[in-house]
Amino acid sequence: EDIPLLVPSTIREVIYRILQNESNTSLTQFAVTGSHAQRIARVVEKLNRDFAQPLRVDELAAEARMSSSSLYHYFKEVTGMSPIQFQKHIRLQEARRLLFSGSIDAAEAAFQVGYESPSHFSREYARMFGLPPVQDVHRLRKSLIDEMMENS
């Protein structure tokens, strides 16, 4: 019964302590209005929303009110990836989700997430997940079935 009263103040204390940690400049940047990290967060939102669209770094930079080189630098500082790597990661994760749902094949998934070439998609998919799309989905399904069997 104490949890509803204590949790909000505990969360505020944890956030306060994180923000006070001088070595955590990236997190602190998110709290500062107009900061580079906040601008990058808007770009990340756009990439998450429009991941299947062609990436135009100059348009993203304009949206973030930065030069293309600044966008690249700050994007990599905040996310640990370049904008292109980030978009590729989102596309491949979404394709994996679509394939796992079983409603489409690999070529259709490739087109839906913005790839123009199914073979290019398959190569990048295998590089990220360790197996080509069809084999990876089979492995995921088998793993899920094995886990369900263990838990029952």
The larger pLDDT score, comparing residue 25 to residue 74, is at 74
Tens-place pLDDT, residues 79-110: 889 999 999 999 999 999 999 888 799 999 99
Checking if the pLDDT of 16 tops 70, the result is no
**If residue 44 lies in a helix (H) or strand (E), which one and from where to where?**
helix 36-49
The domain segmentation of the chain, as residue ranges, is 3-80, 86-151
pLDDT band at 26 (very low <50, low <70, confident <90, very high): low
- Percent of the chain having pLDDT more than 70? 78
CATH superfamily name and code, 86-151: Homeodomain-like (1.10.10.60)
Question: In the predicted model, what is the mean pLDDT of residues 130-140?
Answer: 93
Contact in structure between 25 and 78 (CB atoms under 8 Å): no
Strand segments (E) across 32-151: none
The larger pLDDT score, comparing residue 28 to residue 51, is at 51
| Burial label, 86 (beta-carbon count in 10 A; 0-12, 13-18, 19+) | buried
pLDDT of residue 33: 44
- Percent of the chain having pLDDT more than 90? 56
pLDDT of residue 17: 62
Checking if the pLDDT of 2 tops 60, the result is no
Tens-place pLDDT, residues 42-65: 899 999 999 999 999 999 999 899
